[in-house]
């Protein structure tokens, strides 16, 4: 409904609408929760295996307490074995070994400190002894808490925690029981039993290797980046802007029609995961396809870092795809062949690199890289040859310019098909400014308005943002608004240049990616492919 200028429309929701909105609030559904848990477990069967193995390990160590014979041997200190299993048992074998090392190191250091301080406190007498023990607890707590914050000691944070609570428990219980050495030895035996059970269950019963997880994760990231690049370029070239949804709504829905983009976004967030898997894999013995010691797991992390830099360019391309200012569709298809060729060669090279890592194969990539460089050079030559299409042919307007000459040809000799009010196709040919036959100002404004509606979803042409329809209802396009439209028209053409330059930068980063994969294949001793 059209209101007069300056009027304000106030919508007051009725009581029925408020009741309906309240009823639309999401409620907890047990069935949906069960389905989500089932879907989560189905995505990775190892999650279920890990849970079952954890339960089995705790059951085995608990039998040492539940059964009378082992309980008489170990006594109540066997409870420490249960705590050790709960602390050490991790998702992968490498993480379990790493956590076990921290547990053993912390226990030994805490035991030595506790025995030494206890013997020193006994020689000071019964009055000074609790003071010495209290000061030692304060000192150990402060030092271990500070040390675990240092960047170089972050991987051993668990060890410092173990030192703190093991020392406190041994020194305090030894003070009350009167024999700290016996207390420390009993608990050391219990911790050793728990650690052996945790490692045995995790290694010999359906082991989950961190190295294999890292290998698979990196290969998936290669495929995700290739798919996202191909999907983004395809939508950019095939989309004429007529059926694009609102950007804010698309962002909230997380781009439901772009599954490859979501996978690529997860690749950008995989830095911590790859680093954790790489550090865990260092603790694993040779297994599966990784049969030699000192396997270069950290090289996988470096390759993943280089791949993320390539993924940043894909995200930038995706931002241009959904930007508010878009290049005209017929200008985009002018370079369609060159862009598609460069994209196809680049994605083929990325998939080839991922396949080499997956098969642990070392092959020459010179021909694929040369093909990518040749296709991107053809794209650059096409941009240089047709650079006049990316610049405005108009001179800046002065105050004496007539409105009829305000919107002239931005793209010389470039035919643009527009949709008129009666849904019929109107072909408007923008000629060079030197030609005398210009369309009337009203037709140009109307054509530009229709082009805006078709291509850019009622795009916003002022700041703060105001829709074209609103400007038209307030009195049409004024003479001072036309230069802004002309500037925006030039900016729209430059978005295509930005898109192609990002594609060129993506190909440039592929050189570093090929180099990183080559270093990995050498250090990991991949099998050389026969020529």
H or E element, residue 57: helix 45-66
Q: What residues in the chain have per-residue pLDDT under 70? A: 1-28, 178, 180, 239-257, 390-491, 530-531
Strand, coil or helix: what is 5? Answer: coil
| Crossing angle of helices 210-238 and 336-358, rounded to 10° | 170
- Whether 46 and 22 have beta carbons less than 8 Å apart is answered as no
Around Cβ 387, how many Cβ atoms within 10 Å?
Answer: 10
Cα separation, 339 vs 221, whole angstroms: 23
pLDDT in tens, 139-179: 999 999 999 899 888 888 888 999 998 898 888 877 777 67
Q: What is the pLDDT of residue 2?
A: 47
Cα separation, 420 vs 408, whole angstroms: 19
Residue for token digits 């795809």? 321
In Å, how far are 6, 44, 259 from 38, measured between CA atoms? 56, 10, 21
Q: What is the pLDDT of residue 60?
A: 92
Closest CA to 513 of 360, 344, 368: 368
DSSP 155-219: GGHHHHHHHHHHHHHHHHHHHHHS-HHHHHHHHHHHHHHHHHHHHHHHHHSS---HHHHHHHHHH
Strand, coil or helix: what is 476? Answer: coil
Closest CA to 277 of 312, 259, 306, 303: 303
Cα separation, 139 vs 426, whole angstroms: 84
Cα separation, 46 vs 285, whole angstroms: 20
Around Cβ 522, how many Cβ atoms within 10 Å?
Answer: 12
pTM of the model: 0.72
- Whether 54 and 82 have beta carbons less than 8 Å apart is answered as no
Q: What is the pLDDT of residue 309?
A: 92
- Whether 148 and 154 have beta carbons less than 8 Å apart is answered as yes
Q: Where are the alpha helices (DSSP H) in 67-92?
A: 68-74, 79-88
Which residue pairs, CB below 8 angstroms and at least 24 apart, start in 505-509? 505/313, 506/229, 506/310, 506/313, 506/314, 506/317, 506/346, 507/342, 507/346, 507/372, 507/373, 507/376, 509/306, 509/309, 509/310, 509/313
Q: What is the pLDDT of residue 158?
A: 87
pLDDT in tens, 209-248: 999 999 999 999 999 999 989 888 888 888 655 555 554 4
- Alpha carbon distance, N-terminus to C-terminus of the chain: 73
Please give the DSSP secondary-structure letter assigned to residue 362.
Answer: E
- Whether 106 and 158 have beta carbons less than 8 Å apart is answered as yes
Q: What is the pLDDT of residue 198?
A: 93
């Amino acid at each position: 409904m059209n209101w007069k200028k300056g009027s304000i429309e106030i919508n007051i929701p009725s009581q029925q609408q408020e009741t309906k909105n309240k009823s639309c609030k999401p409620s907890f559904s047990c069935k949906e929760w069960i389905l989500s848990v089932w879907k989560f477990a189905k995505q990775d069967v190892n999650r279920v295996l890990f849970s079952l193995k954890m339960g089995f390990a705790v059951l085995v160590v608990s039998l040492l307490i539940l059964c009378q014979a082992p309980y008489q041997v170990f006594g109540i200190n066997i409870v420490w074995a249960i705590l050790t299993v709960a602390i050490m048992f991790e998702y992968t074998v490498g993480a379990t070994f790493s956590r076990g090392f921290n547990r053993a190191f912390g226990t030994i250091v805490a035991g030595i400190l506790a025995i030494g301080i206890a013997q020193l406190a006994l020689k000071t007498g019964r009055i000074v002894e609790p003071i010495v023990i209290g000061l030692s607890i304060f000192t150990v707590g402060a030092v271990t808490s500070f040390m675990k914050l240092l960047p170089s000691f972050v991987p051993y944070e668990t060890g410092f925690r173990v030192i703190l609570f093991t020392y406190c428990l041994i020194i305090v219980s030894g003070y009350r029981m009167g024999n700290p050495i016996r207390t420390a030895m009993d608990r050391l035996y219990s911790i050793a039993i728990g650690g052996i059970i945790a490692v045995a269950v995790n290694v010999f019963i359906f082991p989950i290797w961190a190295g294999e997880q890292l290998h698979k994760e990196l290969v998936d990231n290669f495929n995700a980046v290739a798919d996202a690049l191909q999907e983004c370029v395809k939508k950019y070239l095939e989309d004429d802007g007529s059926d694009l949804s609102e950007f804010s709504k698309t962002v909230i829905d997380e781009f439901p029609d772009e599954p490859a983009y979501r996978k690529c976004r997860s690749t950008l967030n995989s830095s911590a995961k790859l680093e954790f898997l790489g550090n865990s894999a260092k603790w694993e013995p040779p297994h599966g396809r990784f049969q030699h010691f000192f396997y270069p797991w950290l090289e996988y992390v470096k390759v993943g870092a280089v791949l993320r830099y390539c993924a940043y360019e894909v995200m930038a391309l995706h931002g241009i795809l959904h930007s508010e200012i878009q290049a005209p569709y017929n200008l985009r298809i002018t370079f369609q062949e060159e862009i598609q060729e460069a994209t196809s060669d680049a994605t083929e090279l990325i998939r080839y690199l991922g396949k080499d890592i997956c098969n642990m194969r070392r092959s020459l990539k010179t021909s694929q890289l040369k093909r990518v460089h040749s296709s991107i050079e053809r794209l650059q030559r096409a941009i240089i040859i047709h650079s006049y299409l990316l610049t405005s042919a108009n001179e800046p307007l002065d105050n004496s310019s007539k409105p009829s000459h305000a919107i002239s040809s931005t793209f010389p000799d470039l035919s643009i098909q527009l949709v008129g009010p009666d849904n019929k196709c109107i072909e408007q040919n923008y000629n060079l400014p030197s030609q005398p036959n210009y369309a009337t100002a009203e037709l140009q404004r109307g054509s530009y308005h229709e082009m805006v509606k078709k291509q850019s979803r009622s795009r916003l042409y002022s700041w703060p943002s105001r829709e074209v329809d609103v400007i038209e209802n307030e009195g049409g396009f004024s003479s001072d608004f036309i230069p802004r439209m002309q500037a925006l028209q030039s900016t729209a053409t430059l978005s295509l240049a930005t898109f192609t330059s990002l594609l060129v930068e993506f190909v440039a980063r592929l050189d570093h990616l090929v180099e990183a994969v080559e270093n990995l294949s050498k250090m990991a001793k991949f099998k050389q492919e026969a020529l």
